[in-house]
Structure 1
Amino acid sequence: MSATSAEGLLGLDVTVDEVLGAYDLGPAPKATLLHVSENVTYQVDDPAGGRRWALRLHRPGYHSLAEIHGELAWVAALRADGVVRTPPVVPTRSGALVATATGRHAVLFEWVDGRSPEALEPAALRGTFGQLGDVTARLHRHARSWARPPSFARFAWTWESTLGPAARWGSWISGLRTALAEAVVVGADAAAGVDDPGSRVVHAPGSPVAAGRGSRGGAAGEAVELLGRAVAVAQERLAAFGRGPQRFGLIHADMRMANLLVPDDALVIGTGGASAAQAAQAAQAAQAAKSVKADEVCVIDFDDCGFGWYLWDLAASLSFIEHLDSAGDLVAAWLAAYQRRLPLTAADVAMIPTFVLLRRLLLVAWLGTHPHSDAVPSIPAYARDSCELAEAYLAGRLLAG
């Protein structure tokens, strides 16, 4: 999830130079900004030696030093145990895995060439979600059996830390009100004859925004009431579901297509509208030709990893596309691959819409605190679609189509 914030970058040049000085990166390493989110990520090049790395500069206060070491310990174990490919961590000259400068922690990773399957055409997404399901199952199996170091520390993705008073990414209510207030202003301007095609939002008939057009408080209030009812139902279901060891443990927590890298010359299978038999034949042919190998997929960005419900990783895979008509098919592809390694109970599967709604509202909160994010084309439209998802959830129709 990238967001642009000039204020957040002020003064970082000195910090980056100081961090790079802790590593052996050649005589004149060059850092180029890649993206800004919770952390700031740079591409670092050694022009003289032809080497390249990725530098992650942590946001102050988001993770403790112990939590960063916990993340790196799991990443190292996944590599050592041959579970998935992850970028190796580059130690400083003194052998430390984390460098610290001007109050910021930093981690340097080996560069991994490849591309994200995020930009695939919709017809190819089903095959990608099969890969996601398989990779996630391998991570979860490892997490259940891995003997964590005594000093291991990571936070937890619980009700309280997602949608509760201590939500890590802010209040979903504030995020929703901010987005819908913007949408109502646009609608009111259009009704008054203000022509701004670049920002106009088209509201679905009967939606909370459409019903409250011209009244910021009315639109946002109805939306909060609708989503509040869905949130109350989700909270009850989560409490009943519980946190048993087969349901709750160490997860990636941001297992999106954007956090997978496949080699540039690898073929990503898209089953599209093919039958199950055709899809299986295509997969077998690709494996035989060594075009696709599970171990070629590289999983990146474990920055949000922590303790949570295992099926949260499925919900995270749908981030920003939960409203697509194909979402149900994508979930089916993920589940088919996942359950070849880790079977799920009927009660587990029944909880998937709850986790999808929970993740969706967490993203509404995140967008509310990252107003310049380019993660979605329109934040107001994303909020409006969230209301429609909540209606479907309350009616038992979410992911049913």
Structure 2
Amino acid sequence: MTLPVDASLCAWGLEGAPCSFVAGRENQVFRVTTKAGDFALRIKRPGYRDEAELVSELNWLQAMERAGLRVPRPLPSRAGRLLEKIDAYHVDMVSWLPGKPLGKSRQPLELADRCGTVFAIGETMARLHAACDSWQRPDGFKRCHWDLEGLLGEAPLWDRFWDNPSLSDATRALFVRFRNQARDRLTDLAPSLDYGLIHADLVRENVLLDGGRIALIDFDDGGFGFRAFDVATVLLKNRAEPDYADLRAALIEGYASVRSLDLANLDLFLALRALTYVGWIITRMHEQGGIERNERFVIEAESLCEALC
């Protein structure tokens, strides 16, 4: 199906504006250049999020920008709507933020001030969580839940990791054993854990550095979840760094400089985060590099689960 790029530009009164493809997965993203600045045109994958979820994300972004966070600012269409339906697609437009990604997956971090930068990311994450708690959500607000069921239920948000077809019998048994133990543990812990709106995907590519400023992008998977899960997501992608222990400490210290958070069970959330990727890749193994990506995800999840089982 042809993407409605021209019709989308028209809906925002930007007919003929220079437009170039940037990336595609859950969104097909195009960079649009205008006299008023650059914007990201995002054409949504049909069926991934419903209209209420998509509008809620945009309302959330507006609120976080008003709270002083550097996040994409939604741009209303010519009709005054944040979200448009064009053909079979939902479409929105958000501001293009300056800066470069923190890094790329599986490549060494290249930062002049490694711990200082990670400290600032922890600080920014804590500011996000605090702003989310202070925000009065509008009626009808709807986002996914990275809760006990969303992580370990019969239908997890990112698929049944224990059913990944590439797993050996031993690895499958390990993941099932960990799932059972983690369900019991999380059931006991949940009432006392910090739970609220989280970004849920703060990988390197979604953290932009612009001088000393940090921006957070790509809230597609954001929703309600354990705040420790957000911390674990940042750390998981940096476990291979030689100074990981220092980076971990810096992230936690940065977070604690803004608000308190019980991270006594952080290793549990690292394992849970790793397992989500084992589920996520199930329907994507046919993509280029999918087999290799799956192998990495399984190996990392194995090591984290074995340490806790």
Using the size of structure 2 for normalisation, the TM-score is: 0.89
Q: What amino acid maps onto 2:22 in structure 1?
A: L
SS at match of 1:350: coil
1:202-235, CA deviations, whole angstroms, 9 ceiling, x for partnerless residues? xxxxxxxxxxxxxxxxxx1011112222222221
Q: Is the 8 A contact 1:323 1:389 kept in 2?
A: no
Deviation at 1:378, TM superposition (A): 4.1
Where structure 1 has 5 or more consecutive residues not aligned to the other structure, the ranges are 1-10, 181-219, 267-291, 395-401
The count of residues paired between Structure 1 and Structure 2 equals 304
Among 271, 276, 282, which residue is 1:357 paired with?
Answer: 271
Residues 366/102 of structure 1: CA separation in 2 closer, same or farther (3 Å cut): same
Match of 2:61 in 1: 75
Q: Is the 8 A contact 2:284 2:290 kept in 1?
A: no
Give the structure with the larger strand fraction. 2
Q: Percent identity?
A: 32
Match of 2:224 in 1: 307
Q: What amino acid maps onto 1:110 in structure 2?
A: S
**How much is the aligned-residue C-alpha RMSD, in angstroms?**
2.3
Where structure 2 has 5 or more consecutive residues not aligned to the other structure, the ranges are none
Match of 1:39 in 2: 27
Q: Is the 8 A contact 1:33 1:41 kept in 2?
A: yes
Is the counterpart of residue 335 in structure 1 residue 252 in structure 2? Answer: yes
SS at match of 1:313: helix
How far apart, CA to CA, are the structure 2 residues paired with 1:16 and 1:243? 46
1:293-329, CA deviations, whole angstroms, 9 ceiling, x for partnerless residues? xxx2121111111111111111111344446564443
Residues 51/145 of structure 1: CA separation in 2 closer, same or farther (3 Å cut): closer
Q: Is the 8 A contact 2:199 2:221 kept in 1?
A: yes
SS at match of 1:45: strand
How far apart, CA to CA, are the structure 2 residues paired with 1:243 and 1:320? 28
How far apart, CA to CA, are the structure 2 residues paired with 1:138 and 1:51? 27
How far apart, CA to CA, are the structure 2 residues paired with 1:376 and 1:87? 33
1:147-184, CA deviations, whole angstroms, 9 ceiling, x for partnerless residues? 11123221211122223222222221233x32x5xxxx
How far apart, CA to CA, are the structure 2 residues paired with 1:135 and 1:373? 34
Match of 2:70 in 1: 85
How far apart, CA to CA, are the structure 2 residues paired with 1:317 and 1:35? 21
Q: Is the 8 A contact 1:160 1:167 kept in 2?
A: yes
Match of 1:168 in 2: 157
Residues 375/44 of structure 1: CA separation in 2 closer, same or farther (3 Å cut): farther
Residues 373/167 of structure 1: CA separation in 2 closer, same or farther (3 Å cut): farther
Query: Following superposition of structure 1 onto structure 2, how do residues 1-400 of structure 1 map, counting pairs within 5 Å?
Result: 11-13=1-3, 15-25=4-14, 27-46=15-34, 49=35, 51-82=37-68, 84-119=69-104, 120-121=109-110, 125-175=114-164, 177-178=165-166, 180=167, 220-244=168-192, 247-263=194-210, 266=211, 292=212, 296-322=213-239, 326-344=243-261, 348-371=262-285, 372=287, 378-394=293-309
Q: Is the 8 A contact 2:40 2:95 kept in 1?
A: yes
Deviation at 1:356, TM superposition (A): 0.7
Larger RCO (CA within 8 A; separation ≥ 6): 1
SS at match of 1:87: coil
Residues 236/122 of structure 1: CA separation in 2 closer, same or farther (3 Å cut): farther
Deviation at 1:359, TM superposition (A): 0.6
Using the size of structure 1 for normalisation, the TM-score is: 0.70
Deviation at 1:116, TM superposition (A): 0.8
